[in-house]
Chains A and B, each alone.
Chain A
Amino acid sequence: MAFSGLDIYKLLPKTNCRECGLVTCLAFAMQLAKKAASIDKCPYLSTEAKKALEESALAPIKLITIGTGNSKLEVGNETVLFRHEEKFHHPCGLGFIIEDSLGDSEIKERLDKINKLVFERVGQELKVNLVAVRQTGDKEKFIRATELVFNNTQLGLVLMSEETEALKEALIKVRERKPLIYHATLENMAVVSKLAQEFQCPLVATALDLDKLSSLTRELNSQGVGELVLDVGATSLKDKIWDLTQIRRRALKKSDRSLGYPTLSIIENEDPYEETMEAATCIAKYANIVLIKGIEPAEVLSLLTLRQNIYTDPQKPLQIEPKLYPVGKAGDKSPVLVTTNFSLTYYTVLGEVEASKIPSFIISVDTEGMSVLTGWAAEKFTPEKITDSINKAGLAEVVSHKRLIIPGYVAVMSGDLEDKSGWQVVVGPKEAAGIPSFLKNL
């Protein structure tokens, strides 16, 4: 936990010398707590106090980078247990395990499908992040599979092997991709930690309980390895929830630095539905990387959508540019529907207008990302705002009629809007789902 202003004050000289530029040490402490001042400004700070303050300024959960360039994955740096407290910062990485027992053509085919797992939702691109190569037999096969994966995808890599020599040879081949090494255990730590150092790659630390995991990361730290990802091994889903929660709590609330790293969950379930539900659970409950085997689009789309939902900033709803959007081959006789610029609202309306197959215009009003009812209540979705948007979009030049369709929930503004805009108002359905039948009967 970060220090409060008073905690910091206790560590300062309390001489009010003003050399930091502030009137009192207390004022300086408050600025430090807000991260609005740097501790270097105080020339009289003791070494111990400085160390304590520097440590408290470190993120409680370290940010770890896997991969390079466009497909770089950054995870960690989380600050809360519940998204409403602030937000979850770095969306959990989703990756796919490919076992080296598969034939070359099968591996290529799989990678081909994985590379195509890119979706668009509410104006955002949803992408998968990692491919993990897992050794099941001899070393040569693992190296071969690793090279195949390296050459056939740009995604980040995870190298999964129990054989340190195999890890080393694979690392020599793919080091430039900065793969995640799986894994250091209490048994192989001495050797694997050297690999992580030599190749400058992040490393998964695995131990079967949290105390062992904590000693393992301390040990790795003392050997100079600090780019770590935590794994508690193959446990039941219930134990995963428990461990992931404990790790997050201890890192944030107890400032336990030995557990202040992102976490990895591996889902081993051959049933695609169950695999999806287990992975979904880990995404919701603090996993920073989730590895699955299934590559079916429906499964992956649902997980990426959940990740998008959970990692959306609760204070900043997703917005779209407020403007006039034609749908289909909209012409001067096409109906005009008014809605807000909250992504979810806009895309829901868009989906229904598309489904109606009736070419239309949607004008999205700048409500600062609020939905229809919220925007109306907060006076962001008003006759004035709508009139402004119509004028800005030059709607009168685009269509030859003067009719606006407004959401059913704001029917009460009809009269006022007609007066302000000079357009005739038609009250549409309350729910977007009613749009297709509404448009057909217009």
Chain B
Amino acid sequence: MLEKWTGEVSVINIGATKEEGGSRRQVIKVGGQATLPFLSGEGVLANKPVVAFEVWDIAPSDWPAGLAKAYADVFSDPLAWAEKCVKEYKAGLICLRLQGAHPEFGNKTPDEEAKLVGELLKKVDVPLIILGCGDDAKDNLVLPVCCQAAKNERCLVGSAAQDNYKTLSVAVLADGHNIIAESPIDINIAKQLNILISDMGLALDHIVINPTIGALGYGLEYAYSIMERARLAALAGDKTVACPFICFVGQESWRAKEAKASEQEFPCWGPESERGVIWEAVTATALIQAGADILVMRHPQAIEKVNKYIDELMKG
């Protein structure tokens, strides 16, 4: 029994090649689905979900040991960190989080961060996602200069929120990037924010929705259903929610007690080395089934498994 969908998810291009005025080795396309996840017998699945490796500008202090271990040699050198992801783990997309700009975590200046973005673009040639530190006032100073430093590289930059989208929208528009629009597990706010941003002149095919997920066991089902609802609306023709989704799987999964707690603390949960990876991989799995397009993840082993899973599902 085939459903007749009338709409489809918009296609976002991340990264620009030399021919397009950038310096990335390839463009990553996300979106373009004309049916629900992996029902290729019913509609076109133009692009597959992609995984981005999360890289920080400072050494994260709250990553559990089992996760931090994977990057121990590069933890305080973002350039080497990004390079390791690309060379050793074959990352096709890097997500740089400028946590060090936060007033409480180092308070790096906008110029320092812009310089880092410029250097990172020289160090690796994969497309880039740039995230602020989460402090609105500071992000509004930092992100515009970072957008400038990455001019014409067609990055994905975030996040814009309902009460703070103008500064970022202007910067993203001026320098030819895409924007992440964040809404707190609320489809109406997601819709509203997309309209506000497109009213600023940034077209809907430059917007990616961050539905703010919870990890497996920590509110996953809320984002799961919001994403299903938004995707159904998109397939029914509502262009204002027909944007790809970005899900911060690593950030949420590694906060979960089940991913962090030692086997000593919870003997009946099994070794934490496997548990953390499973928690991140299963969180990603469920969200991919709800329609996730970009998954920002952390553990190389979880990423490897998720990439293989996606490839299997896109076969044939």
B1-37 residues with Cβ-Cβ distance < 8 A to A are 1, 3, 36-37
- Which 8 residue pairs are nearest across A and B when measured between Cβ atoms? A297-B270, A298-B275, A298-B270, A309-B221, A305-B217, A84-B225, A302-B282, A277-B285
Interface string of A78-96 (1 = CB under 8 A from B): 0000111000000000000
Is A245's beta carbon under 8 Å from chain B? Answer: yes
Tell which of B95-103, B135-143, B304-312 binds the partner: B304-312
A83 touches B312 (CB 8 A): no
* Residues of chain B within 8 A of A276, CB atoms compared: 278, 281-282
B278 touches A82 (CB 8 A): no
Is A17's beta carbon under 8 Å from chain B? Answer: no
A301 touches B258 (CB 8 A): yes
A257-296 residues with Cβ-Cβ distance < 8 A to B are 272-274, 276-277, 280-281, 284-285, 296
* Residues of chain B within 8 A of A274, CB atoms compared: 305, 308-309
Name which residue of chain A comes closest to B187, CB basis: A84
Is B219's beta carbon under 8 Å from chain A? Answer: yes
Is A433's beta carbon under 8 Å from chain B? Answer: yes
Is A254's beta carbon under 8 Å from chain B? Answer: yes
Name which residue of chain B comes closest to A352, CB basis: B257
A254 touches B1 (CB 8 A): yes
B278 touches A298 (CB 8 A): yes
B1 touches A249 (CB 8 A): yes
B289 touches A281 (CB 8 A): yes
A298 touches B269 (CB 8 A): yes
Is A237's beta carbon under 8 Å from chain B? Answer: yes
Q: How far is the CA of A227 from the CA of B116 in the complex (A)?
A: 64
Interface string of A287-321 (1 = CB under 8 A from B): 00000000011110111011011101010000000
Shortest Cβ distance from A109 into chain B, in angstroms?
16
Range for the number of chain B residues in contact with chain A: 35 or more
Q: Interface of B with A (CB < 8 Å)?
A: 1, 3, 36-41, 62, 184, 214, 216-221, 224-225, 228-229, 232, 255, 257-258, 268-271, 274-275, 277-279, 281-282, 285-286, 289-290, 301, 305-306, 308-309, 312-313, 315-316
Shortest Cβ distance from B49 into chain A, in angstroms?
13
Range for the number of chain A residues in contact with chain B: 35 or more
A312 touches B221 (CB 8 A): yes
B41 touches A281 (CB 8 A): no
* Residues of chain B within 8 A of A302, CB atoms compared: 216, 258, 275, 278-279, 282
Q: How far is the CA of A301 from the CA of B279 in the complex (A)?
A: 9
Name which residue of chain A comes closest to B302, CB basis: A273
* Residues of chain A within 8 A of B305, CB atoms compared: 273-274, 277
Q: How far is the CA of A337 from the CA of B39 in the complex (A)?
A: 47
Name which residue of chain B comes closest to A249, CB basis: B1
* Residues of chain B within 8 A of A277, CB atoms compared: 281-282, 285, 305-306, 309
Name which residue of chain A comes closest to B220, CB basis: A309
A309 touches B39 (CB 8 A): no
Interchain CB contact (< 8 A) of B38 among A241, A273, A301: A241
Q: How far is the CA of A298 from the CA of B62 in the complex (A)?
A: 22
CB within 8 Å for A246 and B1 given contacts A273-B277, A298-B270, A309-B224: yes
* Residues of chain A within 8 A of B1, CB atoms compared: 246, 249-250, 253-254
A-B contact pairs, 28 of them (CB 8 A): A84-B225, A84-B229, A116-B268, A119-B268, A238-B38, A242-B41, A246-B1, A253-B1, A274-B305, A274-B308, A277-B306, A284-B289, A298-B274, A298-B275, A302-B216, A302-B282, A305-B217, A306-B216, A306-B286, A309-B217, A310-B221, A310-B224, A312-B221, A314-B221, A344-B214, A348-B218, A373-B184, A433-B255
Is A121's beta carbon under 8 Å from chain B? Answer: yes
Interchain CB contact (< 8 A) of A281 among B275, B285, B316: B285
A280 touches B282 (CB 8 A): yes
A314 touches B312 (CB 8 A): no
Is A236's beta carbon under 8 Å from chain B? Answer: yes
Q: How far is the CA of A306 from the CA of B287 in the complex (A)?
A: 11
Interchain CB contact (< 8 A) of A296 among B221, B225, B274, B312: B274
Not counting A116-B268, A238-B313, A297-B269, a sample of 19 additional A-B residue pairs whose C-beta atoms are within 8 angstroms of each other reads A83-B221, A84-B228, A119-B268, A238-B312, A241-B38, A245-B36, A273-B278, A274-B305, A274-B308, A277-B282, A277-B306, A280-B282, A281-B285, A298-B270, A302-B275, A303-B282, A305-B216, A306-B286, A310-B221
Q: How far is the CA of A122 from the CA of B270 in the complex (A)?
A: 19
A306 touches B218 (CB 8 A): no
CB within 8 Å for A280 and B285 given contacts A305-B217, A351-B257: yes
Q: How far is the CA of A314 from the CA of B37 in the complex (A)?
A: 21
Interchain CB contact (< 8 A) of A306 among B277, B282, B309: B282
Q: How far is the CA of A84 from the CA of B184 in the complex (A)?
A: 17
Of B216, B229, B277, B313, most A-chain CB atoms within 10 Å? B216
Q: How far is the CA of A84 from the CA of B227 in the complex (A)?
A: 11
Q: How far is the CA of A122 from the CA of B220 in the complex (A)?
A: 14
Of A121, A245, A308, most B-chain CB atoms within 10 Å? A245
CB within 8 Å for A238 and B225 given contacts A273-B277, A281-B285, A298-B274: no
Of B3, B39, B286, most A-chain CB atoms within 10 Å? B286
* Residues of chain B within 8 A of A83, CB atoms compared: 221, 224-225, 228
Shortest Cβ distance from A262 into chain B, in angstroms?
18
* Residues of chain B within 8 A of A348, CB atoms compared: 218
* Residues of chain A within 8 A of B275, CB atoms compared: 298, 301-302
* Residues of chain B within 8 A of A297, CB atoms compared: 268-270
A238 touches B315 (CB 8 A): yes
Q: How far is the CA of A301 from the CA of B278 in the complex (A)?
A: 10
A82 touches B228 (CB 8 A): yes
Interchain CB contact (< 8 A) of B258 among A236, A242, A305, A310: A305
Shortest Cβ distance from A3 into chain B, in angstroms?
20
A301 touches B269 (CB 8 A): yes
CB within 8 Å for A121 and B217 given contacts A302-B278, A302-B279, A314-B225: yes
Shortest Cβ distance from A264 into chain B, in angstroms?
19
B286 touches A284 (CB 8 A): yes
* Residues of chain B within 8 A of A310, CB atoms compared: 221, 224, 286
* Residues of chain B within 8 A of A116, CB atoms compared: 268
B258 touches A280 (CB 8 A): no
* Residues of chain A within 8 A of B224, CB atoms compared: 83, 284, 309-310
Shortest Cβ distance from A45 into chain B, in angstroms?
32
B39 touches A245 (CB 8 A): yes
* Residues of chain A within 8 A of B282, CB atoms compared: 276-277, 280, 302-303, 306
Q: How far is the CA of A30 from the CA of B37 in the complex (A)?
A: 38
* Residues of chain A within 8 A of B290, CB atoms compared: 284
Of B229, B277, B278, most A-chain CB atoms within 10 Å? B278
Name which residue of chain B comes closest to A312, CB basis: B221
